Amino acid sequence: MATTSDAGDLEESRARLCEEFAGIAGTDSGVAQCYLADNDWNMEKALNAFFEADLEKVFEAEWSSDKESEPATKRQKVEEKTPTESIDLTADCPGSSCKPPDADDAGLSLLSWNVDGLDTENLAERARGLCSYLALYTPDVVFLQELIPPYVQYLKKRAVSYLILEGNEDGYFTGMMLKKARVKLLESEIVAYPTTRMMRNLLVAQVSFKGSKLCLMTSHLESCKGQGGERMKQLGEVMRRMREVPDDITVLFGGDTNLRDKEVAKVGLPAGVCDVWERLGKQEHCRYTWDTTANSNKSVPYVSRCRFDRVYLRPAARDGVSTLAPDHMALVGMEKLDCGRFTSDHWGVYCSFTTS
């Protein structure tokens, strides 16, 4: 027979699961309880069920809207040229200053962004907004967090100049986009975090850029203030892997870390690893990537300004090997779209690096 103590422990455990589910899915505890109860209180199954809504229709509506808004002659030409609707929006240049990088340019550019695919409101327009920023900045490498399968399918149709790697197939996950003309994939792997409660992992890609080897990593570390212990374990794993990459290879990590500065201090950065924002002088205008005073996508009853999204660099150290040095950082996505919302509830982090 279950004791009162056992019942209390079970209730506490389920309440914690509901809180975690609500935090991940951006819903309330009542919805969380329904999905968890229907899936035997298994977090992964419950989240997968939650995300199985037919979101493809959202994007199909966007594609249909694109066609209807085009002149008939242009639409006919597009349909004749691309019968499968693979239209490269990253070739559309929304700003006069936009131009493709010079093929001989030795520098590397990176965009890291939590695109908040869990928020389905105006999702297609926000995904198109991402493509506009890809066109504007033409980054060589893109790290994305909080992707969902329909969002990835949209990007595959719209950003055909990029190779897309996915950190998972179900639920929500991270991804990488590699500009085909500039970055060549050698191999990739997905590294599990064994004690995550939020389906988090580390996506790693070995690539070649301008004849040099790079190791690229992205992750979405455990969310919520109460998950600091797990988040620090995950950061420790990231740093261990950065440290262990051979010294003739430059390592770049970027993502939504959810880190607080005191957590980083407790874990520590290995010798040779730097925080790019700090290396560039801790510029105040790039400090807060999650800022409820400026970003209205999330209606929250509190003010929060945090540097959740971070980029870490470990340059190659072997003599005679080409390496990268941070040159510039900017926050992107700070303009509202026509729908009145931002591309994401996070600002994107754009970085450029010089090669030496």
Task: Quote the mean pLDDT of the chain.
Answer: 86
Q: Which long-range contacts (CB under 8 A, 24 or more apart) does 96-100 make?
A: 98/135, 98/136, 98/138, 99/138, 100/138
pTM of the full structure: 0.81
- Domain ranges for the chain: 4-50, 89-355
> pLDDT value at position 99?
43
Is 256 annotated in the active site?
yes
Note the pLDDT tens digit of each residue in 194-225.
999 999 999 999 999 999 999 999 999 999 99
Given 116, 140, 256, 309, the catalytic residue? 256
Task: Place domain 89-355 in its CATH homologous superfamily.
Answer: Endonuclease/exonuclease/phosphatase (3.60.10.10)
The yes-or-no verdict on residue 24 having pLDDT over 80 is no
Average pLDDT over residues 161-169: 96
Please give the CATH number for the structural domain made up of 4-50. Answer: 1.10.8
Whether 97 shows a pLDDT value over 50: the answer reads no
Distance CA 172, CA 151 (A): 10
Of the candidate ranges 39-43, 45-49, 132-136, 349-353, the one whose mean pLDDT is the lowest: 45-49
- pLDDT of 100: 44
97 vs 100: CA distance, rounded Å = 10
For the segment 280-291, the average pLDDT, to the nearest whole number, is 97
